């Protein structure tokens, strides 16, 4: 029985009773528990982060940023309280959406800086262009890089199914450990050499072994070239895992920050009286220096050996 809810670590918990929007559940091998995401697109991005060898940990809805002061708060409730301390009419939801920002995903690497990811449909970018400039500038001021990921990056046909298969193969590898089959697979791939169709190996190896080879770097393949099939192309990877890096996480921000600061840009539209000092809200996600602590949340064991293979909405009673 689960005794720990990952939503306790979220600045804006999803999938709770009374929420108007449903949430998507995605099992994560890297984090050791299920993640609650806002959209199907976010769930595919979470899959890509789960299999990316350069990602150490990632979190959904990690914290909330006050765009006026550029302070980081552990929850949206604490951020709303900061608006009231500043004398703003925070009871207006439209005003809150302009002054507060909760990133979709926080990505941690072995070395700083950390990365914030905003997930939007490509058709929405023009409508949110001004807001994204302000958010990117605030994130950079708080010490984070930020990129925007759209369906143009993760909307390839068959990509989700391929990532699910690789994630499950990674889970199987962790349970079984290295085996002589991986060495035999490597020898067979090197004997063929160059690029070849995976069906050339299926006479000796099962699909599960081939997927574990792709997940461990024995075989390389293009996961965006369509759903894995007999005619899928592969090659000896020699331990190279770059084929698992679907997202360009080292890319520059998708939008150039504005010339003026977010504080000046928003203050012109906000009703600001005499600002009061902000109240500190203790939480292990946010330190006194307004940055997230480097230690990740405690990993929890998966509830069952069979990982879910498709995104599913939260039950109705949890919305």
Q: Which of 222, 244, 266 is the last residue of a domain?
A: 244
Q: What per-residue confidence (pLDDT) applies to 128?
A: 85
Task: Specify whether 238 is located in the same domain as 252.
Answer: no
Residues 57 and 74 in one domain: yes
Q: Say yes or no to pLDDT of 278 above 80.
A: no
| Residue 132 shares a structural domain with residue 265 | yes
Instruction: State the average pLDDT over residues 183-188.
Output: 94
- Domain assignment present for residue 109? The answer is yes
Q: What is the CATH number of the domain that holds 68?
A: 3.40.1350.10
Q: Residue 58's pLDDT is what?
A: 96
Among 289, 39, 280, residue whose Cα is nearest residue 143:
289
- How many structural domains does the chain have? 2
pLDDT on residue 246: 95
Same domain assignment for residues 25 and 107: yes
The pLDDT tens digits of the residues spanning 212-260 come to: 999 999 999 999 999 999 899 999 999 999 999 999 998 654 444 443 4
Q: What is the 3-state secondary structure (H, E, C) of 196-240?
A: EEHHHCCCCCCHHHHHHHHHHCCEEECCCCCCCCCCCEEEECCCC
In the chain, % of residues over pLDDT 90: 49
Same domain membership, residue 204 and residue 141? no
What was the pLDDT predicted at 136?
92
Cβ-proximal residues to 74 (8 Å cutoff; 6+ apart), any chain? 11, 63, 64, 281, 283, 285, 286
How confident is residue 4, by pLDDT bands cut at 50, 70 and 90? low
pLDDT value, residue 205: 94
pLDDT at 238: 94
Instruction: Kindly report the backbone phi and psi dihedral angles of residue 297, in degrees, each rounded to the nearest multiple of 5, phi listed first.
Output: -65, 155
Shared domain check, 292 and 259: yes
How many CA atoms, within 13 angstroms, populate the side-chain half-sphere of residue 39? 12
Model confidence, pTM:
0.74
What is the band of 28 on the pLDDT scale with cuts at 50, 70, 90? very high
- Name the 3-class secondary structure at 41: helix
Q: Is residue 195 part of a domain?
A: yes
Residue with tokens 């203050």: 267
Same domain, residue pair 13 and 104: yes
Q: Domain range for residue 230?
A: 159-244
Of the candidates 229, 244, 259, which is a domain's last residue? Answer: 244
Distance CA 47, CA 27 (A): 9
pLDDT band at 14 (very low <50, low <70, confident <90, very high): confident
In the chain, what percentage of residues exceed pLDDT 70? 70
pLDDT score of 168 = 95
More confident residue, 302 or 193: 193
**Rounded Cα–Cα distance for residues 263 and 194 (Å):** 55
Instruction: Place 119 in a pLDDT band, splitting at 50, 70 and 90.
Output: very high
- The reply to whether 163 and 146 lie within a common domain is no
pLDDT at residue 86 tops 90: no
Identify the band that residue 104 occupies on the pLDDT scale cut at 50, 70 and 90.
very high
State residue 5's pLDDT score.
64
Tens of pLDDT along 30-43? 999 999 999 999 99
- Say if 1 falls within a structural domain: no
Q: How confident is the model at residue 84 (pLDDT cuts 50, 70, 90)?
A: confident
Three-class SS of 61-102: CCCEEECCCCEEECCHHHHHHHHHHCCCCCCCHHHHHHHEEC
Over range 281-307, report the average pLDDT. 39
Residues 72 and 42 in one domain: yes
17 pLDDT band, cuts 50/70/90, is low
Residue where a domain terminates, one of 244, 276, 307: 244
pLDDT score of 239:
93
Confidence (pLDDT) at 15: 60
In terms of pLDDT, which residue wins out, 146 or 13?
A: 146
Q: Which of 117-121, 212-216, 221-225, 299-303 has the lowest mean pLDDT?
A: 299-303
Question: 23 in a domain, yes or no?
Answer: yes
Domain co-membership, 239 together with 252: no
Residues 28 and 121 in one domain: yes
Mean pLDDT, the chain, rounded, equals 77
């Amino acid at each position: 029985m689960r005794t720990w809810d990952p939503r306790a670590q979220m600045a804006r918990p999803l999938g709770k009773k009374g929420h108007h929007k449903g949430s998507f559940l995605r099992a994560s091998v890297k984090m050791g528990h299920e993640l609650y995401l806002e959209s199907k697109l976010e769930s595919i991005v979470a899959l890509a982060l789960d299999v990316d060898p350069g990602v150490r940990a990632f979190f959904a809805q990690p914290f909330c940023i006050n765009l006026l002061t550029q302070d980081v708060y552990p929850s949206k409730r604490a951020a709303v309280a900061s608006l009231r301390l500043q004398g703003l009419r925070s009871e207006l939801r439209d005003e809150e959406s302009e002054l507060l920002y909760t990133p979709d995903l926080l990505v941690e690497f072995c070395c700083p800086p950390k990365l914030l990811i905003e997930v939007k449909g490509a058709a929405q970018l023009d409508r949110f262009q001004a807001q994204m400039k302000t958010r990117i500038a605030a994130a950079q001021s708080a010490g984070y890089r930020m990129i925007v990921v759209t369906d143009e990056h993760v909307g390839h046909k068959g990509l989700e199914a391929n990532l699910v298969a690789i994630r499950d193969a990674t889970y199987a590898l962790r349970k079984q450990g290295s085996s002589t089959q991986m060495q035999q697979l490597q020898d067979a791939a090197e004997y063929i050499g160059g690029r070849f169709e995976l069906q050339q190996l299926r006479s000796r190896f099962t699909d599960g072994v081939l997927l574990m080879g792709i997940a461990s770097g024995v075989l390389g393949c293009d996961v965006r070239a369509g759903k894995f099939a007999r005619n899928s192309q592969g090659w000896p990877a020699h331990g190279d895992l770059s084929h698992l890096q679907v997202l360009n996480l080292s890319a520059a921000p998708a939008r150039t920050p504005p010339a003026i600061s977010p504080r000046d840009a928003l203050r012109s539209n906000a009703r600001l009286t005499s600002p009061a000092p902000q109240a500190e809200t203790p939480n292990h996600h946010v330190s006194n220096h307004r940055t997230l602590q480097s230690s990740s949340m405690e990993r929890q064991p998966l509830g069952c050996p069979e990982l879910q293979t498709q995104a599913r909405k939260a039950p109705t009673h949890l919305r």
